[in-house]
Structure 1
Amino acid sequence: SSAVAFDHEVTEITSEYLENHPLLRAMAGRTHIPLQPKVLDLPDPTWFTQKLDHFNPLENRTFSQRVVIDDQFWSPGNPIFIFLDGEAPMTFFGFQEVTPFYWAKQFNAMYISLEHRYYGESLPFLQFTADNMKYLSSQQALADAAYFIDQHNQTIDNPGPWVVFGCSYSGALSSWFRAKYPNSVIASVAPSGPVFANSNFTQYFGQFETSCELIGYDSCVSAVQTGVSDISQLLSTPSGISQLEETFNTCKPINTTDTPNWFFELVLMEQVGGSDQMDNAPDWPLNATCDIMTSSTDYVANWAATFGNSSSCNAFSQTEWIKLSSLPIPNSNRAWFWQKCTEFGFFKPSYEGTSIFWGDIPVDPMLGWCEQIFGVPGLVPDTEWTNTFYGGYDLKATNVLFTNGLLDPWHNLSINEATNDGNVQAVTYQAGHCATMDLPYPDDPPSLVIARQEIDDFLTEVLQ
């Protein structure tokens, strides 16, 4: 680790510091995602010797991949459920494995959770240089799962059929795994999987207005619109800028080359406009955010209040974010940015008419981040190749079930209606990201209760 000047103090930069840094989390789209809730009591992880590169026969290096195996319900011949972890340490996914684990119990299945390469402790390298990150891709991750399944089958007596699960990015992985390795698993459950790679994902913040309308919170839309115009006005004068710096308790001055207005706006937008993504029980963050946004007629102060009242200042510096993101110290934010910058894009610009937020938040500087953060000249995501390889919205597979929340912006990049002659099934519900995987709550909407039941029926059907 190394020490860098951070705002007004010098901080020792560790993986944990970068993992939990609010601005790094915001820019990786993690603001409203709980840090590490632990719901399930699973066995301790073990280690699996995984191949570094599945596509080069001359490469024989390996790394240790974390895996959790729970066989308490299982007996020979019974099914095996594998949950593919996504872009975070495996400990993070506990709250999104509640129902898969419940189904493992119901179907007397072995339950396995496999940590994604380059996340958590499944680290092929201790330095995240661009050269070391070239083995981080969805293709390698799918091959990891295939190799694990193949090896695991050799260690147990009479393995039954495998079913693959995931959530979010790993929900997409789950669907792609069934498409690319149909002999390894008989079915896939793919909650909130964004299967369409898109660098210009304007629907992310475009979704916010629709989500507010769906929950009957129209006053939130007008509060945001007024806040946007009030903040824009303040940004246009020196005294207004000073007022914003005070209201938002910014660590550094804004409206500078260090923090251009559009970057400041982007962080504000992520804070409020991303709250619909995880709009699930018990916290309902969209409702909670809208309650704050409509709590007074000072909409600028309301917006600042959504950041919470911590004593530390709020980081908005683009320069500093790039500096921290460029450090080759392992952390999920850097790993996920690598995948965004090579495979998926998933940048969230906003233009006039695409959202109720600001209209001057362009994709070009976001694409420029890739070269700045990784030091690779001309690095931009090859979304076209990704969509050609996996098929985008036109997934060629059988026995895949997608579940998507209509309040979740990511459902716009997923499959929401049955396709491929019904071989790819889909169900939607009125809540947020991956809700079908979460612990059921009394205030779950009926559509979500039905969606969970659809997964239950799907598993019964494929396993009979």
Structure 2
Amino acid sequence: MIGVSSSKASSWLLTVTCILAWTAMVVEAGGISDHWRFVDILNCHHHQETRKSLSEDLYNHKVNDDDVQESYIAQRLNHFAPSHGRSFHQRYFYSTRFIIDSQKQQFAFLCVGGEGPALTKQVLVDSVHCSGDMLELAGRLHKSGHSVALFALEHRYYGKSYPVFYNDRNETVSPVTNQNLVYLSSRQALSDLAHFVQQKTLAAHSNSLQWVTFGGSYPGMLAGWARLKYPHLIHAAVSNSAPIQASLDMPSYNDRVGFDLQYERIGGSQDCLQIFREGHAQLVAAVEGDDTGLKQDIADAFHLCNASILLDKQNVQSWIGDGVVMVPAQSNDPTCNADHNPLCNIDKLCSFALQQQQHSNGTSNAWHVLAALAKQQQHSDDCLDINWNKTLDYYADPKKGVQGGLRSWLWQTCTEFGFYQTCEEDSSCPYARGYHTLEEDFEICKYAFGIEPEEVRESIQQSIEYYGGWQLKGGSRILSVNGNVDPWSTQARVNSTDELLPVYNAKGASHHFWTHRVKDTDDIEVQKARKFIYETVQKWLGLGSGTADLL
């Protein structure tokens, strides 16, 4: 990536850096419902909500992408077996708007693509991943007389950068079958990036071209690793909200959600957190009890299609284990538009919850408040049909799994990163503790790809050993920027004593919000994060801290 509503499938399913979320429920019609989960796919729901809010914010903000060009580069399908011989076409975007013809020294800024739907030309104009840091800095350097080439590279197996495969009858087949997904990994993606940089450097006829990679979430991981693994090609990297420490079991994600619900700086409170804890505890007691009338009341209150849903253990786990209400922790925006989403941030979510509690004069249970919140988040009048088996079938379908990069990212979680956001009994998870365990995620990997639990464990450990986790051992000129509201920051690099691997932590900020377009309403901490990025990158480019008018 999420419990929000019961409408039919969203038009797009992932984006990044989604770091995990996907649909947990399937409607009877066979589509994916909008009851999104916090697990399984690196919280792509955040990116859906972010793009939605961005499009609303930009309604009267016209952006011109005429200078952005779209093209493709040939890449080896398997960089680690050159004799393999097969290739695919990877999409990229570029712009010369900040190029100065007479400039001898030239910089190249690369916005690294990641999981999610197709990129568009807007990635080099106004994107959530590279606007506030990369594009803003490039523009400021250009005004100071420096030349900056802009690039964005789409990740293999996402958007329009899927390899093409054929069967024995020379018919095209899905690129996300188990057999065809073996060429998808972050290591292959980094090799793609390295080849891209080499080719563009040659085309520029400039020995002094300095590349800086930028990215947020999973692309932030890749941006940092590109500098770590290819220091002769990448001069520096800005790694935003990047959970570089792969993790099988990631209870820290929901622990941070609990922290956010009581974090007064963003509108949370202990009372708000208590409503979530008590409400989910009450739901657990109800579904485990024998009171059929109470189960029916719950089904009615949450607009479930049938109370019998609550009789199936796996259905219940996939509903209450990840929260019956979507908490906008990683997408928390203090200035979001409540006209489009009345519960668009934690302040508004908690305010509504406390108002509901006060209006009841203590006569309502906490789960009633959660039901009221869930109703506010529903996008349609369709009932919510929770069906774990249908969800598994959807995950396993190579034809449906191309949309939005669904199976691509699931594959990467099972074969590289994990990031399984459990809600264990001994955690600080604000949901139904003990109702999302690793077994649920293991079942997805097994059912969708035939990957056994031990293979998942081994793959994640191999990733940690290969990249070094939090340490970035041997790395330099990699800047890690995080927000303490962001649940993904628990797996990111937030501490450092190495001046060559600096970190910046923005208080009250969530998932790489400083990479969004600059707005007058941006929190001071977001502004400070950008300033730190500008100054650090300028220093690494040998320009000093005062080259551009930074603020």
TM-score relative to the length of structure 2: 0.76
CA distance in 1, matches of 2:349, 2:318: 21
The equivalences for 1:22-61 within 5 A come to: 22-23=35-36, 27-28=40-41, 29-34=43-48, 36=51, 37=54, 41-42=64-65, 43-61=68-86
Quick one: which of 513, 516, 532 aligns to 1:435? Answer: 513
> Residue 341 of structure 2 aligns with which residue?
none
Cα offset for 1:377?
4.7
1:387 to 464, 469, 472: 464
Q: 1:305 and 1:340, CA in 2 relative to 1: closer, same or farther beyond 3 A?
A: same
Measured in 2, the distance between the counterparts of 1:45 and 1:251 equals 45
2:98 aligns with one of 73, 77, 85 = 73
Asked whether the 8 Å contact 2:28–2:385 carries over to 1, the reply is no
How far 1:233 sits from its partner (Å)? 3.1
**C-alpha spacing 1:251/1:47, structure 2 compared with 1 (3 Å):** farther
Tell me how far apart the structure 1 counterparts of residues 351 and 71 of structure 2 sit (CA, whole Å). Answer: 44
> Equivalent of 2:114, from 71, 86, 96?
86
Assess if the C-alpha contact under 8 Å between 1:272 and 1:289 holds in 2. no
**What is the rounded CA distance, in whole Å, between the counterparts of 1:409 and 1:168 in structure 2?**
11
- How far apart, CA to CA, are the structure 2 residues paired with 1:263 and 1:88? 23
Aligned to 1:105: 139
Going from structure 1 to structure 2, the CA distance change for 1:295 and 1:305 (only over 3 Å counts) comes to: farther
Q: Which is higher, the Rg of structure 1 or of structure 2?
A: 2
Aligned counterparts, 1:168-187, within 5 A: 168-187=217-236
User: Which deviates more from structure 2 when the two are superposed, residues 341-350 or residues 259-268?
Assistant: 259-268
Give 1:256 deviation, angstroms: 3.9
- What residue identity is the alignment partner of 1:367? F
- Residue type of the partner of 2:432? W
Contact 1:267 1:316 in 2 (8 A): no
Asked whether the 8 Å contact 1:45–1:67 carries over to 2, the reply is yes
The answer (yes or no) to whether the contact 2:252–2:487 under 8 Å persists in 1 is yes
> Shift of residue 348 of structure 1?
0.8
CA distance in 1, matches of 2:333, 2:106: 33
**Aligned partners of 2:39 and 2:421 also within 8 Å:** no
Partner of 1:3: none
Matches within 5 A, 1:63-462: 63-75=88-100, 77-89=105-117, 90-91=119-120, 94-99=127-132, 100-108=134-142, 109-125=148-164, 126-158=174-206, 160-214=209-263, 215-218=266-269, 219-235=271-287, 236=289, 237-251=291-305, 253-257=308-312, 259-268=314-323, 271-273=325-327, 275-283=328-336, 285-297=345-357, 298-329=368-399, 330-331=402-403, 332-354=405-427, 355-360=429-434, 361-377=436-452, 379-381=455-457, 382-396=459-473, 397-419=475-497, 421-429=498-506, 430-462=508-540
Could you tell me how far 1:27 is from its partner in structure 2?
Answer: 4.4
Q: 1:321/1:459 Cα in 2 relative to 1: closer, same or farther (>3 Å)?
A: same
The whole-number CA distance in structure 2 between the counterparts of 1:292 and 1:134 is 47
Greater shift after overlay, 20-29 or 71-80? 20-29
SS in 2 for 1:79: strand
- CA change 1:295–1:402 in 2 (3 A) is same
| Cα pair 2:315 2:386 within 8 Å, conserved | no
Which residues of structure 1 form unaligned runs of 5+?
Answer: 1-5, 12-17
Q: Which residue of 2 aligns with 1:9?
A: 29
Could you tell me whether the CA contact under 8 Å between 2:276 and 2:370 is conserved in 1? no
Indicate how the Cα distance of structure 1 residues 115 and 277 shifts in structure 2: closer, same or farther if over 3 A, else same.
same
Cα contact 1:24–1:325 (8 A) shared by 2: no
Letter in 2 for 1:166: G
Alignment correspondent of 2:17: none
1:227–1:300 Cα contact (<8 Å) kept: yes
State the distance in 2 between where 1:292 and 1:254 align: 28
**Residues 433-464 of structure 1: CA deviation (Å, up to 9, x unaligned):** 01120123334332221111000101110112
Q: Displacement of 1:107 after TM fit?
A: 2.2
Secondary structure (helix, strand or coil) at the match of 1:428 reads: strand
SS at match of 1:422: coil
- The Cα shift of 1:216 comes to 4.4
Aligned position for 1:14:
none
Query: CA-to-partner distance for each residue in 1:399-430, whole Å, 9 max, x for gaps?
Result: 111110100010000011224x2211100112
Equivalents in 2 of 1:327, 1:185: separation in Å? 38
Shift of 1:390: 0.5
CA change 1:122–1:241 in 2 (3 A) is same
Q: What amino acid sits opposite 2:433 in the alignment?
A: G
Matched residues in 1 for 2:281 and 2:34: separation?
A: 29
Task: Say if 2:129 and 2:515, in contact at 8 Å, map to a contact too.
Answer: yes
Shift of 1:261: 2.0
What residue is the counterpart of 2:13 in the other structure? none
Cα distance, 1:27–1:384 mapped onto 2, change above 3 Å = closer
- Secondary structure in structure 1 of the residue aligned to 2:356: coil
Deviations 1:1-29 (A, max 9, x none): xxxxx644366xxxxxx6x9654787422
Greater shift in the superposed pair: 121-130 or 151-160 = 151-160
CA contact (8 A) 1:405 1:431 kept: yes
C-alpha distance in 2, partners of 1:337/1:300? Answer: 29
Residue 309 of structure 1: how far off its partner (Å) = 4.3
Query: What secondary structure, in the 3-state scheme, does the structure 1 residue paired with 2:448 have?
Result: helix
Distance 1:243 1:118, change over 3 A: same
Code of the residue aligned with 1:209 in structure 2: it is G
Q: Identify the residue that residue 15 of structure 1 maps to in structure 2.
A: none
| Alpha carbons 1:32, 1:278 under 8 Å: kept | yes
Contact 1:211–1:406, Cα closer than 8 Å, also in 2:
no
Q: Per-residue deviation at 1:352?
A: 2.1
What SS does the corresponding residue of 2:309 show, helix, strand or coil? coil
Whole-Å Cα distance in 1 between the matches of residues 88 and 334 of structure 2?
A: 38
Whole-angstrom distance in 1 between the partners of 2:250 and 2:489: 12
How far 1:358 moved relative to its partner?
Answer: 1.8
Among the aligned pairs, what percent are the same residue? 24
Distance 1:127 1:295, change over 3 A: farther
Change (3 A) 1:217 1:68: same
3-state SS of paired residue (1:188): strand
Q: Distance in 2 between matches of 1:168 and 1:10?
A: 31
Cα offset for 1:363? 1.2
- Deviation, 1:101, is 1.2
* Aligned-residue CA RMSD (Å): 2.3
Structure 2 unmatched runs, 5+: 1-25, 143-147, 165-173, 337-343, 358-367, 543-551
State the distance in 1 between where 2:267 and 2:345 align: 15
Instruction: Please list the CA deviations of residues 294-343 of structure 1 after superposition, one character each: whole Å capped at 9, or x if unmatched.
Output: 34123132242253241223343211111111110213121111000000
Shift of 1:365: 2.5
Change (3 A) 1:23 1:301: closer
